[in-house]
Amino acid sequence: MLNILVAGPSSGASMNPVRTLGPAVAAGNYKHIWIYLVAPILGAIFGAGTYTVVKLRDDEVDPPRQVPSFRQP
């Protein structure tokens, strides 16, 4: 709801890019379409970068532990 209240005046409160692109293409209205094309791509890049910094750094610092084997040679 907060997202709609904040973005509503500028975007018509459409949070789904496909829901906006379909009618825009059908009507030939491309005035503010760039944000619906650029924002998901930038969000994916930012999310992948954040995941790499937060999650993958922990995996590099801690080497995998060796589980002792109980088999006799």
User: For the chain, which residues make up each domain, given as ranges?
Assistant: 34-62
Q: What is the pLDDT of residues 18-68, one digit of tens each?
A: 777 888 889 988 887 888 888 889 999 999 999 888 886 655 555 666 666
The answer, yes or no, to whether residue 73 has pLDDT greater than 60, is: no
Q: What is the pLDDT of residue 13?
A: 60
Residue 10 CA to residue 70 CA, distance in Å, equals 65
Map residue 20 onto helix, strand or coil: helix
Can you give the pLDDT at residue 10? Answer: 65
CA-to-CA distance for 40 and 59, rounded, in angstroms?
28
11 with 35: CB under 8 angstroms? yes
Does the global pTM surpass 0.75? no
What is the gyration radius of the CA atoms in the chain, in angstroms?
23
